[in-house]
Structure 1
């Protein structure tokens, strides 16, 4: 049960729900159809705020348009209808009532739309404005609430010091080919329509100059492109507030009768359900993970988006750090498996093992919150199916005390069965035989952490004694290397490396070598025997924990290089060559000038500004994520910022990301790699992030997958092909691609 998080601040809400849209026909014949669940959404949110958060009725502002016996007129009086004028007036009223550090919650349920921009100097003559659609939009004198206006309203609230949360349970009018789902309605137009109706251009929010200046400030002064928004497509990446949007700008927001009777918006329904289940002492990221799993498993064309301060605790101004993890998207009880939101694009491979935690867990050092183990059995582009292989006894916090689901003879599962009492379809309850009355629960949205990579990802490391003339006095190199081998068992993530002695043969190539130099220091060498640079500080043989530090560094390097080498080498993929990435500097007239010609690694000075230009030359919307792979052996997500996992990029469009170069402390020069991932489906690459070398790693990371084309060709050419169906149209390599550029930064 949720409770008001901060009793010292007040809580204000603006709730807008529109079921009844007055008759309207847009150019081209499309129209905004009336809906059924938007006002119900608002009423349920209002009840939650009053009953669970004890928000006084006087601090909740509502605008609704409900159906009445007269189909051409809502039942509410004019002053309570969500017209443009009333919406803007209530936003202003809300901003005046709330004082610094007060909570402000905004929830909109209704249609979203697109209209010809009234800011061509900003978006170009063919640009469009994303809009919220008032109930009376059928009147040509009626105005949309446009994206620039909403951005200005929210920025004013942030500037005042208000703690703002925005929920938009609506979709856009354009984007993908539209199609309904049985027994569901779409909150948007059913075509790629843009309203070209000539409407008033004056704003009740601010002057056009103020709106444009605010937008340029929020978007880094980029012009003449529609791709100024972040992952939801509504607004620039939020700074100072949280935005939950029902879907991306090329998708639907559905409303559906979840209880078999009354319709609700999918985002609103699962938001309230998650708040009831998890309470409000978790982060928005945790809430969003569960919403995403619930919604996307039912509606493939709806991916709820989280932007802004995802680490903020719900209904609070406080933030908390959390470790990246993969989420459970779906539980398949009959087949004893779970669908994880990570696949080939994240380097997951068949055989990888994950630990699944209790729903809402953010601290993965709490081993007692592990509920199950699962092993990957089928890898897709951005998802993977994993078989549940073990469950943990919740009465015992010792993580090693678990019961396997298979016996030692590898017979089919026999120690897992469903609880006989009825359970929701999205919950998998497993239990050990009656003698052990332990239950473990896997739920949609639960976090899963990678425990070990697949076998082929293990890095071979040769322990290489130095030549006699290179040995340090007073140090036995064999004993020093034996200490490294012995320390392996104590280092978390040690499954990434496998040690070979000097004379031991291997069918797989050696990646690293470990030796002791003439100064009595451990050295990590590459396969050719060259010392790997920037491994700081030096590790003296005999120093406390030096041997364990060597193993830690090897694990870190293995993860780093796995991400660096991650690639989709399938030349038959429809995305092959469709992602264009360039490093640029600003030339005359602010035009971007490419500097990474083939064979050229550009060199930039510290604190110099440059641009990463990304172009989508495919015929599909691509979700873009950029990782910065840095010389201190760290990996961080460069774009998008905040809580967003990716930014959609429309076909034929490009995006320029400005960045400033830097070097780690003490470095005179270093090489950076900017790695751009593009996927068709929703995915998240934050699990690939790494801190700088020798800093505590937050759990294991996803790893590189095998070449999908090689696997496909081997299966087709084999005399005895594997017992599986190969569908070229659905092969994972067709749904993601990656490109990277390298630059050198110097003092």
Structure 2
């Protein structure tokens, strides 16, 4: 029955295929959808569930035993999505889960401008209408149907427990595991599916990766996949039943939250899925794409109140999934919480954590030593979430207190718990400060840059009791965090790793920019970053951050604000004529800086040979009325921050990273 109430309704379409004629039959997909079906049946929100499945049969059976109306065919899947579109109301939530084989479909129609022309479109392998053969459900075809839902104002979550990289790993052999990817030669498509109603995303500050894969570049919805684009998805045996690894760990995590009553962020759920997967198969990493501002599951919250870093246990050693590239130092301390510790309040629950200290730092990971006994109930935890307690970085951002600040000792004490900020009274000699704080005639607080120019466009009013202003302290902590991240780099890079890739900035005519130091462009200019993986078989992971003039940090390699990396496969694994991956964005001068005539952004390009998240680097804009002033002091900051701590040399499997900052000065020319 269709629900028509005031509260948003929840819809679930579950698709599982064991029965394959040409492909290797699977054991887990039908179990997957039945597992999720049972979970949703117990949901207090009364989810409207539709199941399409094809169970395995005896060898002599030509088609699945289910009623043909339940078969996971292209037409049944399309009609199921149409049913949701026709009956759902704006604001409703939609969950679509696919378990089965996946592959890629190469494009042969030169008129089609969308899709990955080098690796093909992500494709789900479903049944033909007669149930006796397979049929490809092309990613663009599915993306268009999902766009139907998004255009109606529905909030869509898509879970893919399958491979979509068969062209790379179709000959892989994994003992004791079934791989959910096609073993056949890579199919081709003339792209007969319609694409006219699938419009391109606008060129704003979000990047547009080209060539595009519409299914894995969601516009308005969220995708959770079992693995990265160069990995394989596996099945697991649990108590005699086979399941897709992603589905099993997702269900396990949701049930755990339900029993514990914990409410966590989507980022924490994804981190936990990664930890659980890596505890079994380190080479399979679940990926999350698209929007993060809504959530289908009731035990998850949209906005994170805390920033956590994933901790995995490897050979009885706790490993923080952050290292020198993230600004971690030996001696930093963290509080470690179990996955189900609730995050829906400012203060985390007491008694559910223990402290650990960083004992050694690698490129993108760090080892932790436990400082206090763990509760017995937490000893079997496979993945932790860590919240920073103290940082002993010798390169904190210094803020000077001018003599108009009458209570410098209170300000210095207030900043002792800060990770990135420290205060120094004016009489301190030999101090070179990035910021200065003053309060002329005790009327207002002003923040100055190192040249003495005001860098915030509005005054702060001092507290009546002459104490420390929380508003000013928060602003300075935010700015110090920004400058600390800006200054991170690898001061002693590995030349062998640096030779594995090449990137170029292109203008609007796709010609390389010729610049030294700062790139000057006009307002509304589209800048393109072209990246090439020159290695002989190593996937590389590229994160591009935009550090904007309003003290905000956003991620250009992932849509809708969430930090993510773009996986770049080696050129040797692609067709010779395959285009190089590109990211495009538009530069513009914010309204409040147009009188100044220009602004400066810093584009930070991070390349690693292991997947790693830089989500803690993201910052909201401090204010639409703020600006940095003319002097950045970038070269001085880079000279002071993050000295050489290199411990890795040579090529191979050692984690490596490269960081570079590109300053882009955008000019506004009044008409």
Match of 1:645 in 2: 564
1:365 is aligned, of 322, 342, 346, to: 346
* Cα shift at 1:367: 4.2
State the SS of the aligned residue for 1:263: strand
* Cα shift at 1:194: 1.9
Match of 2:390 in 1: 452
* Cα shift at 1:176: 5.7
* Cα shift at 1:168: 0.9
* Cα shift at 1:269: 0.6
Match of 1:396 in 2: none
1:108 is aligned, of 79, 98, 107, to: 98
State whether residues 568 and 737 of structure 1, in contact with CA within 8 Å, keep that contact through their aligned partners in structure 2: yes
* Cα shift at 1:318: 11
TM-score (norm 1): 0.73
Aligned pairs for 1:543-582 (under 5 A) are: 544-545=466-467, 555-576=477-498, 578-582=500-504
* Cα shift at 1:678: 2.2
2:585 is aligned, of 658, 662, 665, to: 658
State whether residues 167 and 244 of structure 1, in contact with CA within 8 Å, keep that contact through their aligned partners in structure 2: yes
Matched, 1:16 2:6: no
TM-score (norm 2): 0.80
Matched, 1:271 2:250: yes
* Cα shift at 1:453: 2.4
State whether residues 125 and 137 of structure 2, in contact with CA within 8 Å, keep that contact through their aligned partners in structure 1: yes
Match of 1:740 in 2: 661
* Cα shift at 1:16: 1.3
Aligned pairs for 1:388-399 (under 5 A) are: 388-389=370-371
State the SS of the aligned residue for 2:12: strand
CA RMSD of aligned residues (A): 4.1
State the SS of the aligned residue for 1:40: helix
State whether residues 325 and 687 of structure 1, in contact with CA within 8 Å, keep that contact through their aligned partners in structure 2: yes
Match of 1:398 in 2: none
Match of 1:690 in 2: 619
State the SS of the aligned residue for 1:120: coil
* Cα shift at 1:141: 8.4
* 1:129–1:688 Cα change, 3 Å: closer
Aligned pairs for 1:332-411 (under 5 A) are: 335=316, 338-357=318-337, 359-360=339-340, 361-363=342-344, 365-369=346-350, 371-389=353-371, 405=372
1:181-238 C-alpha deviation (Å, 9 max, x unpaired): 44222111369x5224xx78544xxxx3xx2440545899x9x9974138xxx43233
**Distance in 2 (alpha carbons) for counterparts of 1:492 and 1:445:** 30
Which structure's CA Rg is the greater one? Answer: 1
Match of 1:39 in 2: 30
Match of 2:213 in 1: 229
In structure 2, the gaps of 5 or more residues are 572-579, 625-639
**Distance in 1 (alpha carbons) for counterparts of 2:399 and 2:489:** 23
State the SS of the aligned residue for 1:161: coil
Match of 1:531 in 2: 452
* Cα shift at 1:482: 6.4
* 1:513–1:55 Cα change, 3 Å: closer
State whether residues 284 and 314 of structure 1, in contact with CA within 8 Å, keep that contact through their aligned partners in structure 2: no
State whether residues 349 and 705 of structure 1, in contact with CA within 8 Å, keep that contact through their aligned partners in structure 2: no
State the SS of the aligned residue for 1:564: helix
**How many residues are aligned here?**
626
Match of 2:522 in 1: 604
**Distance in 2 (alpha carbons) for counterparts of 1:167 and 1:688:** 27
State whether residues 328 and 447 of structure 1, in contact with CA within 8 Å, keep that contact through their aligned partners in structure 2: yes
State whether residues 313 and 320 of structure 1, in contact with CA within 8 Å, keep that contact through their aligned partners in structure 2: yes
**Distance in 2 (alpha carbons) for counterparts of 1:282 and 1:541:** 37
Match of 2:379 in 1: 428
* 1:63–1:190 Cα change, 3 Å: closer
Deviates more, 1:353-362 or 1:288-297: 353-362
1:321-379 C-alpha deviation (Å, 9 max, x unpaired): 224523434246x85x5333322222222222222345353356314446222211233
* Cα shift at 1:640: 1.3
